[in-house]
Structure 1
């Protein structure tokens, strides 16, 4: 890929997404071509153009910003028509190989051959397998050899099996075949659904950056496959739509976003540059027990949607618990102090790369692996970028697609999709989300998304008695986060002590943190119904203290 020169024609929203990903992948050079000028509609399709770019050539307006993405890639703009001289930039002179009389070569177009013992043209003996073009039963062409000596004779040509090249016919040919096929049918389609076509045409006229990110990531990955020769490209064609978004026509005038991200301030500033009218509030707080007073139920209830761009949070405590159990006892580590090392991977001035080089070489020495210098180690780390650039672009676009459905007010679960994507294979799978598991309490269905609102302070015993009398369920296990508030397997003295304590005090003793006015995370994990049925993860509880109103009233959750 480092020796590849890529030409991208057209730098509207999709073209810019492709160019961005290819530049980040680290090819030799990228030339962006566009003969059109920037218009007002282009501003919504990408964020490398602004109001100052109106009337300017799109390629020239974007080239400076694109070049800043990767200083090791040469980025240039071409605003003239694509001529044969510009596209080819190679000599058309081809070398023709003629076999001995009455000896057929038996090759076909597209075969690869390697030469040996050719005199007069020694360079061809050292070449990689060359693709040939059959000219006849006794002759074939091996392409441009202007860099070699003029004439060669003798030698042997041996066919070499190479990875299969896949080429596809023009899409217009498929359209023509479909039209011809329709005329030959016994019952051809008499008419078209004009309403559907009008809706589709109006939707296709829009150009949204997140949707360009989806297609741009896929197209960029295909280019990287072509440059690297690894993985099979998409066979025939790829079709992507979101038909479920079409039925309702609604305009969105304003959207609120909450970036719960470690780089929220930087991301918010970048968003403001892309769209000055967009309202965004950055939060740099970590979402966890220590920020429970910030991200309360009141905070989340005020939002219309939440996008989680982090790892699976529930997996971290389990993984940490496993690591803690594997550590030696503190008594065996007298005098040893372990300090975690944290660093910003995108900052080249904090010497993190030097630490990585030193640590990796020490480990390599333990296993007899050849050490690597700093340049080689940084090159290895940099090869991760192409997968990150394309995959994250695709994931962000698909997440925005689901957000569009929420903003449009769609409530049917079958209109939403869970996505499973592997760009290398390539594999694209979409499925309908699974409905939340329900539990019946007194004829009413509850899920983990529902909760009971507990107004006012109650003791643990008062709450257990109320739940048993009201819903005919005896609670046998209840937790707050990872802390167990009540369980039937607890020692009797501990249970007796907690039964007469207020719920807020039970929570404070278990977590050693002062409870907030609203405690959203209490969970009824297990209970026994009057019928003898064991119920798992029944519902969530929110205790609000102090407050007025009924002692216990069920409330629908988010």
Structure 2
């Protein structure tokens, strides 16, 4: 029986709704399924002439909410100017700008009340005239992304189209103060940058060419940024350069949105390929490609000299941790950061300017929701749950077990057993049981053994485990509150019966058997008929329910249960494992999941494993494409959003290179092309704190020269005295990273020993690591008291060694 409800009318809460009067139906028991169906809407648009007279505007920046109506008049005047002269107004020409103002005033005088402006913004119309002949690649990228998305909407009928006029301007990119003789600087040079020079003049073009920028990431946004950099001339002049780093290789799934890559580039390094592609776009660009992860492990590469020589950094990353790290480095070296990201039709841009704005780390997005373990193991109710379960199956069966066996048996990790036994909870037991499973209980010798294992594992996962779950929680079981246990999000499962005639069952066995064989270095097979024949000869594994099995019903119950492991059982497991001398020459081969190779059985296994579990729980299955998106954790990036976001980034780049000092000149952006929604707003200023009458923000710090005029390094005592004398601060605790260098409660003997030691010597001693030659400064954190004895918050210390 089907019901159609209006969720806006019938919702009774965030997760509940009523369906209608059901008094004439039998009593509802359980097991109903709700599917969201979006109802199509018919959208009508005014004809062009009617819309010109009575327009509807999409506002992109509420700080300029009156701007669209003014531009509506201005663009009609511009159209008339071009019709009269056969050309746009000359760049920054006062005569043409004055004529444009006159035309705009005439348009405004004749306009209907819906368009007529009581006070026409003459300055805005003049600026429109000044830049009308210009041609900016970032503006083209933004408007082009929007236009392309609108075409897709018209073709597919998906998402809400723009209704009906969208005017976008970034006039704050122009110089903050009027530049004398601007027209002379905007004359064409007969080169590829003439459209940009017409807007900003030749001085900015020269600055752009000299910039040294660091681009972190060469994926979807990274490719678009590099393309824009090449087109605007960033790093294309004398002394300029762009360094791009990305450790990834190109995958087939990248090609639909990373347009610097071609099919023949698959498996090549992203950074190298992208750098070569932009050299073809602009041979003058000086771009250097690296394959390094940007993190603590590469600080010897991206060291003080590297960052201090930069003019700015652009992030094109796909994870928060890396973004936070790069942000911290930019704050430390006081470099501008252009941050951006996309998710489907959604995109954001944040500009970070030293001393002017807050940093990326100053605010946080809510954490991503993870699927509870209990839901994954026993109570899935959505295809996302079964796909995640299938991915975990893949990792456990074909990667983790093989890695553990390799570490134990061939001595790759001599302390493997010792470290395993020190793990918390039931982890030692789980690891050793998995090794016993791989080496003793289910070690195959032939392909037929692999097929038999896959057949047995199918019954374990899709029949026996489900029967055990129903044995513990029967379908008609009630909770202590009198409600049915299997109700709400808990879907009552049913065991499956293996059928060799079922393509899904056979797909699972084929994929599982081939992957299992690969981990042992055995040959596989793609002969489905032979496998089906072999399966018919195997006995059906019998199920016997186990008693005393504890199944956790909720995350709270799982976390509150303190699992203990019997040491004697662990010892028994250890003795059951073959000794290394009995495994000479034996090797297992861990498999890394690869979603894009259709011949490797990886996605075959994921799709079959997930859909079989979905069948267990009555969940609608997913096809291969949807399964790949979810299981492969592919962020649904699309070229339209990427183009628009990269354009917005480079508009902010113009401001950073010019050195704009007004906070309102910069714009953080949040867009959703599907709705459509656009929100551009000024970034937030950094929060400040204060000690005595000294205000400070995250951009401030104490710079302390470690070397004294005598040539000797500052001791701890001298460091403490320096802050007491120069800043009237008494240091109560001093740390470097996780190392505590000094505290007021330190034992007197240790304190006396440290006071006369040089600072770097104390750091090396406490951290138990020698400082590398690339380290030119250290960061110290302080806890201080004022002269009155009160705790005060103070900036960190940059202790300069060399």
Q: 2:614 touches 2:620 (CA, 8 Å); kept in 1?
A: yes
Shift of 1:266: 2.5
The question of whether the paired residues in 2 share the 8 Å contact of 1:475 and 1:528 is answered with yes
Aligned CA distance change for structure 1 residues 505 and 382 (closer, same or farther; 3 Å): closer
Matching residue of 1:233: 161
How far apart, in 2, do the equivalents of 1:202 and 1:418 lie?
25
Give the Å deviation of 1:188.
7.8
Confirm whether residue 313 of structure 1 aligns to residue 331 of structure 2.
no
Provide the residue aligned with 2:798 in structure 1. 542
Taking the aligned partners of 1:493 and 1:366, their CA distance within structure 2 comes to 68
Give the Cα–Cα distance (whole angstroms) in 2 for the partners of residues 210 and 225 of structure 1: 23
Residue 515 of structure 1 is matched in structure 2 by: 771
Q: Which shows bigger deviation, 403-412 or 327-336? A: 327-336
Question: What's 2:45 paired with?
Answer: 168
Match of 1:465 among 698, 706, 721: 721
Aligned residue among 146, 154, 170 for 1:218: 146
Distance 2:136 2:321 in 1: 31
CA deviation string 1:243-278 (max 9, x = no partner): 111236343131433222223222222221222111
In 2, Cα distance between equivalents of 1:214 and 1:268: 22
490-499 or 289-298, larger mean C-alpha shift: 490-499
Q: Does 1:335 align with 2:343?
A: no
- Equivalent of 1:299 in 306, 320, 327: 306
SS at match of 1:539: coil
How well do the aligned residues superpose, as a CA RMSD in angstroms? 4.5
Q: For residue 506 of structure 1, report the CA deviation from its aligned partner.
A: 3.8
Structure with greater proportional strand content: 1
Q: CA deviation at 1:220?
A: 3.0
Deviations 1:530-553 (A, max 9, x none): 3455334x32333333x4xxxxxx
1:182 alignment counterpart = 109
Give matches, 1:390-429, under 5 Å: 390-429=640-679
Q: 1:119 — aligned with what?
A: none
Question: 1:246 pairs with 170, 174, 181, which one?
Answer: 174
Query: Is residue 104 of structure 2 the alignment partner of residue 206 of structure 1?
Result: no
- 1:268-306 per-position Cα deviation (integer Å, ceiling 9, x unaligned): 222212221111122222111111122123221111111
Report the equivalent of 1:79. none
Aligned counterpart in structure 2 of residue 527 of structure 1, from 771, 784, 788: 784
- How big is the shift at 1:450? 2.9
| Residue from 277, 287, 293 that aligns with 2:284 | 277
Q: Show the 5 A alignment for 1:424-503.
A: 424-440=674-690, 443-451=693-701, 452-456=703-707, 457-481=713-737, 485-486=741-742, 499-503=755-759
Q: CA deviation at 1:208?
A: 3.0
Deviation of the 1:337 alpha carbon: 7.8
Select the structure with the greater relative contact order (CA < 8 A; seq sep ≥ 6). 2
Alignment of 1:36-55 (within 5 A): none
The residue aligned with 1:133 is: none
State the match for 1:264 in structure 2. 271
The total of aligned residue pairs comes to 382
Q: 1:299 to 1:394 in 2, by over 3 A?
A: same
Q: Is the 8 A contact 2:736 2:781 kept in 1?
A: no
Q: Structure 1: how far apart are the matches of 2:618 and 2:745? A: 53
Alignment partner, residue 548 of structure 2 = none
> When you count helix as a share of all residues, which structure comes out higher?
2
446-455 or 510-519: bigger deviation: 510-519
Cα deviation for residue 403 of structure 1 reads 0.9
* CA separation of 1:522 and 1:432: change in aligned 2, threshold 3 A: same
Worse overlay, 265-274 or 250-259: 250-259
Assess if the C-alpha contact under 8 Å between 1:481 and 1:521 holds in 2: no
Against the structure 1 CA distance between its residues 512 and 403, is the aligned structure 2 distance closer, same or farther, given a 3 Å change threshold?
farther
The whole-number CA distance in structure 1 between the counterparts of 2:751 and 2:48 is 72
| Unpaired runs of at least 5, structure 2 | 1-37, 55-72, 74-105, 180-199, 218-245, 247-269, 326-363, 374-421, 436-588, 708-712
Task: Identify if the C-alpha distance between structure 1 residues 314 and 227 changes in structure 2 by more than 3 Å, giving closer, same or farther.
Answer: same
Secondary structure, aligned partner of 1:530: coil
User: Is the CA contact (8 Å cut-off) linking 1:478 and 1:523 kept in structure 2?
Assistant: yes
> Contact 1:441–1:471 at 8 Å: present in 2 too?
no
Contact 2:706 2:800 in 1 (8 A): yes
CA distance in 1, matches of 2:296, 2:629: 39
List aligned pairs for 1:10-159, cutoff 5 A: none
Distance 2:599 2:137 in 1: 33
SS in 2 for 1:542: strand
Q: Provide closer, same or farther for how the CA distance between residues 238 and 352 of structure 1 changes in structure 2, counting only shifts above 3 A.
A: farther
Displacement of 1:402 after TM fit?
1.0
State which drifts further: 471-480 or 209-218: 471-480
Q: 1:505 is matched with which residue: 757, 761, 768?
A: 761
Query: Judging changes above 3 Å, is the alpha-carbon distance between structure 1 residues 370 and 196 closer, same or farther for their aligned structure 2 residues?
Result: closer
The 1:530/1:349 distance shift into structure 2, 3 A limit, reads farther
TM-score normalised according to structure 2 size: 0.41
Distance in 1, Cα, partners of 2:733 & 2:616: 49
Q: Match of 1:62?
A: none
Q: For 2:643, what is the secondary structure of its paired residue?
A: helix
Tell me how far apart the structure 2 counterparts of residues 496 and 348 of structure 1 sit (CA, whole Å): 67
